[in-house]
Structure 1
Amino acid sequence: MTNRRKFLKKGCMAAAASTAFTIPNIANASEKEQNVWRELPQIKDEEFLWDWVRSEYSVSTSVANLNNGGVSPQPKVVQEVLAHYTREFNTIPSMHMWSKGDISNSVREQLAELAGCSPEEIAVNRNTTEAINTVIWGMNYNKGDEIILTEQDYTSVMNTWEEAEARYGVVLKWLSFELPIEDDEEIVEAYTSAITDKTKLVMITHVNNLNGNIMPVKKITAAVKKVNPDIKVLVDGAHAFAHINFKISDLGCDYYGTSLHKWLCSPFGTGMLYIKKSEIKNLWPLFTHEDPQSDDINKFNTFGTRNLPAELSIARAIYFHNTIGSERKEARLRYLKDYWITRVSDIPNVEIKTSMKPEYACALGSFSLKNMSDGEVAQKLYKNYHVHLTHKGDKTGKFHGMRVTPHIYTSTKELDWLVKGIQNLAKVQ
């Protein structure tokens, strides 16, 4: 233990050259600013790595937070950068608010590199809901245009489409999946069989918020475009980006929205919208712009005074993510999900509602108890076992369950609290 502490204290100051991020003009910055952008360690040893990661979060030690799918905490290094810019902006707000263009553009470049696309296709916003709404309200519709979506999509997304149905007369064609689903052919067939000559857009949830089901977005998109290349594909990536390892550009979709305050651990209220370059000019911005039909992605970045300190801090979250590495992070998250599920899956009264196949699930898992309602399970787990999580259900009422979302800072000891709670609650008559 002593050696490990020495390593974490001294060895962790080693440079991580392959993942280093340098903000513009950092060489001319003050010593204090250079310190908040200090290099992070590159650690090969897995045990040391996750000990270091845990130490980088200021999370509760008395409650196991297993609802990171709602919103995740930021590492201390992200909090430091956010605090720095918040203090700086508060000296002369109106001057600093519009003087950080070089850093802001650099953030977008970093995001584009992580997403595997051009910076000219990336707009920084506040969350997935705003990104999806930008696309839905930015399209031109004819009465009778058909939208394909599922009854297992996110609630606010379904609500927005239902409003579009009421306002513009579009037709919503609902698919419904029994979760978990582990058959790519069945999934793709469900989407393609719903296509008609009136299909305008296909909505896909990349990682389902109910049970973590990973959908084969690339296969769905390719199949849809094969039927009709003019059909647009919109992807809800709230639970996918910086969670599973992929590139948006490989998916073939036209639009992709995500929240950066979930799996990337950026400051609260930061998100991202991807729009394929060829589609930018055809989409109206959600907030008015001097040239709303231009092909400049910046028209989607115009929504008045914004929390720029939070946006600038996204770069620090990306650097922290890259220090770990996308593949290693995904593997750790899947390990944590498998850890708790394998310890409770054979218990009577426990129903596991998440796939154990790596291609269909990662960190996000779901379960229910046959002998207790979801609400009661959540209440007792928090009160008696200090475990915080949430319960979810779909539009049909067919699916319900406790959603468990550990993050990279989560310890197996905390998951043991969950396991113990499930074991005991499953025995209650």
Structure 2
Amino acid sequence: MNNSNRRSFFKKSLVMAGAFSSGSLFNQLHAEDFEEKAKIYNDLSPEEMASNEDYWSLIQQAYPASSSPVLNLNNGGVSPSPKLVLDAVDRYDKMANMAPSYYMWRILDQGREPLRQKLADLGGCDPEEIGINRNATEALNSVIHGLDLNKGDEVIGSIQDYPNMMNAWKQRALREGIVYKQLSFDFPIEDDEHIVDMYRKAISPKTKIIHVTHVINWVGQIMPVKKICRMAHERGIEVIVDGAHSFGLLDFDIPDLEADYFGTSLHKYLSAPIGTGMMWIKKEHISKVWPLFCDQDPTRGDIRKFESLGTRSFPLEQGIGEAINFHNAIGRKRKEERARYLKNYWAEKAIKIPGVKLHTSLKPEYSCVIAGVSIDGMTPRELESTLLKTYKIHTSPVSFENIDVVRVSPHVYTKPSDLDRLVKALAELAAK
């Protein structure tokens, strides 16, 4: 094949088989099966579908992780991808390596705008408000470091926010003299007004920003973001939302949160390739936020100024597209209800075991898939280590501020039988 034919072939390959086309890998491999299952159970509500193991077995089969010898219950850290996402990244990585600077910047880069639109559709927002980057830390640090704040201006967050975001605010406080105030919550909390009131009481005339985590990383508490935003806006205060553990899991549109800024990782519950993320900035705020990385016009009102990262992995963007295809075929509400069902499946059994304590609400408005658990007489590190060494169950130990738990976070590929294995392990350890 000569060079001209090779270029023509790869261009046609991208158009015909790219994640943003009718020839996507999802359409080739899964669309027909998903449609057939959907027709069979068309009359079932998302809540009813949550426990339908025939349907979810189809999803499980698409994930190589479902057959791993180590049971992965730390999807809140990084989620594995379905095979078609891995295949898409591999396909376009091989293409790029034929002539990297050509295929990346002249061929694969054509997928950026279709991806932006696809992410906007998923988030229920304007594509001109979506920036594509590598993770929630990068997205939110772009905002945290990009806002003009003066010495003495106050920011309110909490000690249960994600460390990378807290450290970004602490760095600004250390270097520029802003005041970073942190609340402390005793989760679980099943009272929205109590949470909102804590933020309200911390506000002073110097408060400029409230930073809130949508789903608390450590124990899965869902925070009343919309209520916090409304309260803050009544006082002329802007709100930054860390959506790392909510986007791709909970059924919501980003603008409905009524926040000003939102950042997320796509390699968690969306199951996109590792090292992918997204930011959302309300359109009227874009021009006033300085990009974290240099741009030729840092004050322009174009969201793309936050994407000046230099060389990046274009094949990952095709993988994001295929992850969205897979996610959309399941459906947002159906996915959320399945995830919550899996959490409740093991947690409702575990809380009946003497010596086992749950640190997460079981009410649907306050939690979804992530939960914290502990056993009397065992530290989180001891429990996590024993679960892994003795039972081949991978979780995440958390000893942070006032939280001492092992975090358990299944995913839609997790089988109830896997969670029976967890419950059995907890019962045996608690009995010792």
TM over 0.5: yes
Does residue 408 in structure 1 map to residue 395 in structure 2? Answer: no
- Return closer, same or farther for 1:386/1:27 CA change in 2, 3 Å cut-off: closer
Larger helix percent: 2
2:396 to 381, 390, 399: 390
Q: Helix, strand or coil: the match of 1:29?
A: helix
SS at match of 1:182: coil
The answer for the alignment partner of 1:267 in structure 2 is: 273
**Is 1:374 the equivalent of 2:377?**
no
Q: Which of 122, 130, 141 is matched with 2:138 structurally?
A: 130
User: Which ranges of structure 2 fall in alignment gaps of 5 or more residues?
Assistant: 1-10, 42-51
| CA deviation profile, 1:294-353 (whole Å, cap 9, x unmatched) | 001110011100011001221110010000000000000000000001111021111110
Aligned-partner Cα distance in 2 for 1:427–1:147: 46
1:247 & 1:31 partners in 2: Cα distance? 26
Opposite residue 71 of structure 2, the aligned amino acid is A
Q: Is 1:302 equivalent to 2:291 in the alignment?
A: no
User: What's 2:403 paired with?
Assistant: 399
Query: Is the contact between residue 254 and residue 275 of structure 1 (CA under 8 Å) also seen in structure 2?
Result: yes
1:16 alignment counterpart: none
Q: 1:27 to 1:348 in 2, by over 3 A?
A: closer
1:198-220 superposed Cα distances (whole Å, 9 cap, x missing partner): 11100000000110000010010
State the SS of the aligned residue for 1:288.
coil
Contact 1:210 1:393 (8 Å CA) reproduced: no
Q: Residue type of the partner of 1:336?
A: L
1:173-216 Cα shifts (integer Å, max 9, x gaps): 11111011111111111111111111110000000011000001
Map of 2:421 onto structure 1: 417
- Of 4, 10, 16, which residue of structure 2 is paired with 1:29? 16
Q: 2:118 aligns with which of 91, 106, 110?
A: 110
Map Cα deviations across residues 349-373 of structure 1 (whole Å, 9 max, x no partner). 1111000000000000111111211
Distance 1:346 1:94, change over 3 A: same
Of 226, 239, 264, which residue of structure 2 is paired with 1:258?
Answer: 264
Give % identity: 45
Corresponding residue for residue 150 of structure 1: 158
The alpha-carbon deviation at position 98 of structure 1 amounts to 1.4
Find the residue that maps to 1:153 and give its secondary structure.
Answer: coil
Shift of 1:37: 4.9
Closer, same or farther in 2 for the Cα pair 1:79/1:31, shift >3 Å? closer
Query: Match for residue 15 of structure 1?
Result: none
Question: Is the 1:123–1:301 Cα contact (8 Å) retained in structure 2?
Answer: yes
Q: 2:77 is matched with which residue: 70, 77, 81?
A: 70
Number of equivalent positions? 401
Cα distance in structure 2, aligned partners of 1:257 and 1:297: 13
How far the C-alpha of 1:61 sits from its partner, in A, is 3.2
Which AA in structure 1 matches 2:179? V
- Cα separation, 2, equivalents of 1:192 and 1:68: 33
For 2:293, give the aligned amino acid. Answer: F
Q: Map of 1:321-340 to 2, 5 A cutoff?
A: 321-340=327-346
Pick from 146, 156, 174 the counterpart of residue 166 of structure 1.
174
Contact 1:221–1:233 (Cα < 8 Å) also in 2: yes
Q: Which blocks of at least 5 consecutive residues in structure 1 are unaligned?
A: 1-23
Question: Which SS does the other structure have where 1:246 is aligned?
Answer: coil
Greater alpha carbon shift after TM alignment, 60-69 vs 337-346? 60-69
Per the alignment, residue 45 of structure 2 pairs with none
Please state how far the C-alpha of 1:26 moved relative to its aligned partner. Answer: 7.1
- 2:60 pairs with 54, 65, 72, which one? 54
Contact 2:196 2:228 in 1 (8 A): yes
CA contact (8 A) 1:386 1:417 kept: no
Q: Which of residues 204, 222, 240 is equivalent to 2:230?
A: 222
Deviation at 1:398, TM superposition (A): 1.8
SS at match of 2:372: strand
